[in-house]
Amino acid sequence: MRRFLIHTAILAGIAAIGAVLVVWLGLFNVSARSGHLPGVSWVLHTTFRNAVELRAPPADAVPDLSDPDLVALGARHYDGACRVCHAGPDEGRTATMLSMLPAPPPIKEAVADWEPQHLFWIVKHGVKMSGMPAWPTRTRDDDVWPVVAFLTRVPEMTLAEYEELVAPPELPADAAGADVAYCASCHGADGRGRGNAQVPRLDILGEAYIAASLTAYRTGARQNGIMHHAASTLDATGDARLARFYGAQQPSPASDPQSDSEPGGKRDHITLGRDLAMGSAASADVPACSACHGPWPDRLSALFPRLAGQPEPYLLRQLELWRDGERGGTSRAHLMHQAAKDLTDGELRALAAYYASLKPGEAR
Ligand code: HEC
Ligand code: HEC
Ligand code: HEC
């Protein structure tokens, strides 16, 4: 028995020295060309699949993904951040991507075996040692779901349908020099968000707020994976250039959604929102929203954004983030934490409905 133990110890020692030599002398071939040893791919893939299934959120945590605005937003982010590796639906991958180990699967294949909650987990967390990146920001989840909404549509989507969804709108002559095509795919060249209620309008915002917000996204002071990616393609000069371009766009009230035709229940809701915004229902130690956001003809500070005419779902989402302490922003962001921290869900909904119902061109 003693001899057996001594032999085992010697063998273990030799194995350990061998492992150290493999690492130290560089004997393990890390070349992506050499492929994996037999069985290794199976082990890695099975580990990946089981790890995702263990950690993904439950199926009933998946929000409603049927909104076409979510799908369009997700597709446009995919085009800028993911297409380089997975290509568009039914599009060939580049020779360079095919030479990765593992090669990124074509997107129709990548989504084939997964439920939405699994896709969410993979897009948020990435896959270690494979080249599949994690979502660039950590604190929010709602910004990942538009990409999942798009991925659930991929199986039926043709390349032509995809191209139509992600193509930027036609750009006016003055946009050419400002290099806005990428931003315009989501925000439009006029800054009005192409009618997508998940995307904020930039035409109602001022140059200083736009520039400061882009910097906040890039540094991570304001968290949103989609805009973190977009802002990381810029530098301070780019922030200033695009802020000047979008800050100069004039909102036109003509085609804005209006409250005149809203049903009675919705009108009451908007009236409650107005009372809250004007301060008649707010507590004494927090200034009324209108003190900073209007609607007045003049902006009070270059860093106070206008809210009039901003889409309701966007306003509501931002208010929830402010209240829950999850939204950062420019050097003035702390003012909003104070203003939103004690508001109820119903009050947030009423405030979002009120500001969304205002005509931006009039109420500046
Ligand atoms: C740098 C290249 C690269 C980028 C960029 C990239 N991926 Fe991947 N992705 C990969 C690779 C490689 C894998 C394979 C991982 C594996 O099988 O171990 C993968 C796996 C996946 C899978 C799981 C597929 C499977 O194997 O079952 C999905 C879904 C996915 N990616 C979606 C996305 C989305 C959405 C984005 C953009 C937010 C994205 N990827 C960006 C390289 C990339
Ligand atoms: C893939 C779609 C997409 C692209 C591309 C994109 N954005 Fe955005 N943008 C969004 C979304 C969604 C938000 C809201 C993010 C949030 O919740 O904070 C946003 C927010 C913003 C804001 C803050 C608005 C506010 O009311 O606070 C600014 C400023 C902005 N984007 C400018 C740009 C510029 C400039 C570019 C081009 C470099 C760009 N965006 C590219 C989707 C996009
Ligand atoms: C003391 C001034 C002040 C008060 C009061 C105030 N806000 Fe704000 N609000 C700000 C500032 C400053 C920002 C921009 C912060 C940033 O991103 O840096 C902001 C941002 C916002 C945004 C995000 C806008 C966008 O485009 O993303 C919403 C929505 C908002 N406020 C709603 C409200 C509501 C509703 C109230 C009342 C309950 C309110 N605010 C009260 C100063 C104020």
pLDDT, averaged per 10 consecutive residues of the chain (364 residues), comes to 87 89 86 86 92 96 96 98 97 95 95 97 94 93 96 98 94 80 94 95 94 96 96 94 93 56 78 87 71 80 90 96 92 88 92 92 52
- Give the Å distances, CA to CA, from 317 to 141, 143, 156, 268: 12, 10, 30, 21
> What domain range includes position 208?
168-247
Q: In this structure, which residue's CA is closest to atom 36 in ligand 2?
A: 183
Ligand at minimal distance from the CA of 82 is: 1
Distance 184 CA to ligand 3 centre (A): 25
Q: What is the pLDDT of residue 338?
A: 85
Tell whether 106 is covered by a domain. yes
**CATH code, domain carrying 146:** 1.10.760.10
Measured in angstroms, how far is the CA atom of residue 214 from the centroid of ligand 2?
A: 8
Nearest ligand 3 atom to alpha carbon 282:
38
Cα angle for residues 247, 253, 256 (degrees, 5° grid): 110
Residue 278 belongs to what H/E stretch?
A: helix 264-278
Q: Same domain, yes or no, for 280 and 193?
A: no
Q: Is residue 253 part of a domain?
A: no
Q: How far is the CA of 335 from the centre of ligand 3 (A)?
A: 7
Q: How many domains does the chain have?
A: 3
Report whether 137 contacts 118 (CB < 8 A). no
Same domain for 176 and 158, yes or no, is: no
Domain boundary among 190, 217, 247: 247
223 CB within 6 A, ligand 3? no
In a domain, 37, yes or no: no
Both 209 and 148 in one domain: the answer is no
Beta bridge partners of 132: 127
Could you give the CA distance from residue 360 to residue 176 in angstroms, rounded to a whole number? 26
Q: What tokens were used for 344?
A: 């109820």
Same domain membership, residue 74 and residue 108: yes
Tokens for 170, please give them. 């036609």
Answer yes or no: are the C-beta atoms of 276 and 289 closer than 8 Å. yes
Q: Which of 77, 217, 53, 224 is nearest to 146 (CA)?
A: 77
Distance, CA of 59 to CA of 148 (rounded, Å) = 13
Residue of the nearest CA to atom 34 in ligand 2?
183
Ligand 3 midpoint to CA 304 (Å) = 7
For residue 352, give the ligand 3 atom closest to its CA.
Answer: 35
CA distance 102 to 242: 38
For residue 253, what is the DSSP state?
A: -
CA–centroid distance for 163 within its chain: 20
The length of the chain, given as a count of residues: 364
Q: Is 292 in the pocket of ligand 3 (CB under 6 A)?
A: yes
Q: What separation in angstroms does the CA of 324 have from each of 182, 247, 318, 341?
A: 31, 29, 10, 7
Q: Give the separation between CA 214 and CA 180, rounded to whole angstroms.
A: 14
